[in-house]
Structure 1
């Protein structure tokens, strides 16, 4: 089968040279030349088949590494190879961390070009075979699941509670996977009263070839509907979940579930930062007090400096808000200078305390709280608008094997 290649470069001289080389190689065909990162992503988002994208290090407006990351997240089985004038160990490391399947000099030899492109194409087709059935069955129109990352501005702002409640609400309508990316202190088992011996750390070694069977072994299926991927029980194993592994694991989950909700906690690791970077929507939970608001500003500025998330793309969720709270949404918005969700979560301490202590978060005895979670789900696009404000027990979702 002919290997299909897309060249992403605005350098006409480079494109001409590469096209001439490919013309000499049998079994490889250039099916398109895109001059900007936006044009490359247009091809990635379309239903057009391809095996490998060659990404010029000088492409824009997105940087080459950002473009490689986007290709991997938008098409988990898509293989990107970086073209660079200077190939060294540092560049190779950064390219692999971004998800590239190799690096080539801008003027490669014919044999180097063939070897790298064929190797990347073989990886792409292998991933397509592993993921293709699930993707075709769940999303016949080629779309992927929506991912929402929930982060705490600081500890105690309710990020885990919101993530769990949101997953329980969504499970009544869609297939959903709840991921505990609070890798050192994740506590979802306590919230859902579950015991499971497997965790996300068990997927790291097979992150490049995740199958439905492998996922089925790692996931816990909660009686209320959500499938749950836990953080490792041993906090030191958090370091095993690298940015590359997290990207691959989250990509595999998005290929199988309509919604993926990631609890990132309040402490940033490579894994949680990757979730923040690639989520469709990032929610930062904040309680109505100055320490939490200041922590939110610091967190947003950190993400912006690391180019993980622009400040205007973060949505702050006020939790534990009551009529008597000194800080109300308008005042919080002025302090933060960040977008706030229209939804706020009321203070429901007694109902939540009882539900958490009994491991029955699916049955919080507070109608106002349940309606707020449903409204949040609608606002972030994971619940249908006709939810009616009720959080019901979810259906069981099926993982393809």
Structure 2
């Protein structure tokens, strides 16, 4: 049977341009193509990372210019073709609670993880939507279902949202969680305004780098700097803050980073200096090619291994790979590159795992 004729090049270019525009608030250095709003999300005193209008990282780099984005998208950098569907063989139905110092980690997909410990159920960057985009008809689309069906979630107590990019802050999912679970939502400064503009019922509270927030059951959350940026549209770049989270528990500290570049490693060495090392680090390993464009905002797997070493983590869990295609690398490349980087540093692969949606990693209380 003969193949159907390919669409005209002009149609393909229009399609690609539409996809680029819808992806801008996720990966583009110039902010998004859709004007989310120009008003500030936050007003407060000037600090060492806030100039009165926009936040910045004193140890970071600003996002790339729009011309750099066009060079990447249309300048010839090779982009691997992901499959339309890459379903996982796993599907998790979590228990209602995990008591004591054991930690149960369930990978939902991309940046979404459920952590259960000491009787609390905590979701990181929850996204159950089909696309990570400001529109429903274009932009990055997931290639596998969430590893936990939404209706199979246990009672969610706490949600931690690291920053405002659409693959991390999904207002539709937050509204669904609010309607069913009424969780407390902790997020960096300004991100609460984005959530409440969509749904005033969302129980969002915003905090700054360095803040410590009690969450009950002998636990607390700290907000820490990470090397990234944030935007929802064309006019709001860095008008809200981004952050890593440190979950303080009697059984040991967990260090969660939603997105980050490596830079010179300052933030990760500082995390070790401040907290003394971690029982577990949850680190992104995907969306890193081409390096000339992505290195300032997304680290690659070898850099993630270096972060594990720099921050003093005994174990690490990979995320931000294998669910939505944001950049050029092939779908399994992050996991393969992670295994190679671990072998090069003589680190056992079981200590830094890249699991598929629906898979579970349980850390026993005895090793806390």
- Which structure is higher in helix share? 1
| Both proteins in one fold, TM over 0.5 | no
- Higher relative contact order (CA closer than 8 Å, sequence separation 6+): 2
Computing the radius of gyration over CA atoms, which structure comes out larger, 1 or 2?
A: 1
